[in-house]
Amino acid sequence: MNTTTLASTTRPSPAQVARLVLGLFKLRIGVLIMVTALVGLAVTPGVSPSLVQVAVLALAVLGASAAAGAFNQYYEAESDRLMARTRGRAFASGALPRSRAWLLLIGALLALSVGAAWQVLNGSAALYIFLGAFFYGVVYTVWLKRRSWTNIVIGGLSGSFAVLAGAAAVNPALGAQPLLLALVLFLWTPPHFWSLAIAGSADYAAAGVPMLPVVVGPQRAARVVFASTLALVAASLLPGAFGAGPLYMAGAAIGGGWFVYKSWRLARAPSRQTALGSFFASLLQLSLLLGAASIDGLIR
């Protein structure tokens, strides 16, 4: 077989390139963060923004999140190759060239997202969108991920800033509801991510990343997950004292109760199976909470 034929058989198809690029920008996470911004908008009283403003908010948050996710993969390409969960990523696998052109594209995407929010919404919303990307891309990825087990705790602020961006699009003077929802997002990230980290603790240890299960061991980390989940659920019920309706409270209680149960099982018997059970319970809890919060806010 000649080299031309070999190259043609190994060159990725357009569909494969598209999947690689979509994975590079972590769009599934970006969509979740975009939804939290829209929920922040829904729970904030004030003059309803226009459809154009809502669209700009959604796309700006998604774009900024995509830029931060792509930068994370660009910066972490070497360590991603050491982990089974991440070695297939575009830069880690070499499927996409890790050139400086990507940094220009990432920077342009972030600037466009923040600039659009500044022009169409307001400076406060634009600032929160920028801070969300900055905390994930720089504070978490560059400063803390390889230095401290608190990496995901502080890095989790990126989701909180999305809620605040949505609220600021309606009223830059933030009220109790969006601030409490931002607190919930901040408290949700550690038990959510630590559950996954317990399931993949060997990967993180091999890559030299000091995630909590690597630093203190899976058993102690599982107890921390359970305690963190209790704190999260308690915080998620606080909006009831500030005007949240029964629909929100039901969503927070049902999702929170299931997450507590699964994290309790993890604390009792740490294993990959119970860790993944806690991880998926965290996704269900957040989905129920955000869905109930948005419907409750729209009704009110």
How do residues 201-259 score in pLDDT, each as one tens digit?
Answer: 888 888 888 999 999 999 999 999 999 999 999 999 999 888 888 999 999 999 999 99
pTM: 0.87
pLDDT at 280: 96
Please compute the mean of the pLDDT values over residues 74-84 and round it to a whole number.
Answer: 86
114, pLDDT greater than 50:
yes
Q: 181 vs 12, which has greater pLDDT?
A: 181
The burial class, CB within 10 Å (0-12 / 13-18 / 19+), for 223 is middle
13, pLDDT greater than 80:
no
How do residues 181-216 score in pLDDT, each as one tens digit?
Answer: 999 999 999 999 999 999 988 888 888 889 999 999
d(CA 76, CA 91): 9
200 belongs to a structural domain: yes
2 belongs to a structural domain: no
How do residues 267-284 score in pLDDT, each as one tens digit?
Answer: 999 999 999 999 999 999
d(CA 57, CA 197): 31
SS3 of 65-89: HHHHHHHHHHHCHHHHCCCCCCCCC
- Find the largest Cα–Cα distance for the chain: 72
8 belongs to a structural domain: no
21 belongs to a structural domain: yes
207 belongs to a structural domain: yes
What pLDDT band is residue 156 in, cutting at 50, 70 and 90?
confident
Region of poorest pLDDT, from 78-87, 122-131, 158-167? 78-87
Lookup: tokens for 217: 């061991």
Domain count, the chain: 1
**Radius of gyration from C-alpha coordinates of the chain:** 20
Q: Which are the contacts of 112, defined by CB distance < 8 A and separation ≥ 6?
A: 63
10, pLDDT greater than 70:
no
72 belongs to a structural domain: yes
70 belongs to a structural domain: yes
300, pLDDT greater than 80:
no
Residue 86: what are its φ and ψ, rounded to 5°? -120, -5
Whole-number average pLDDT of the chain: 89
Which structural domain range is residue 231 located in?
15-299
pLDDT at 5: 39
Please compute the mean of the pLDDT values over residues 276-297 and round it to a whole number.
Answer: 92
Q: Which are the contacts of 245, defined by CB distance < 8 A and separation ≥ 6?
A: 296, 299, 300
pLDDT at 244: 83
Amino acid in the structure at residue 46: G
4 belongs to a structural domain: no
d(CA 195, CA 129): 27
DSSP 8-state assignment for residue 99: -
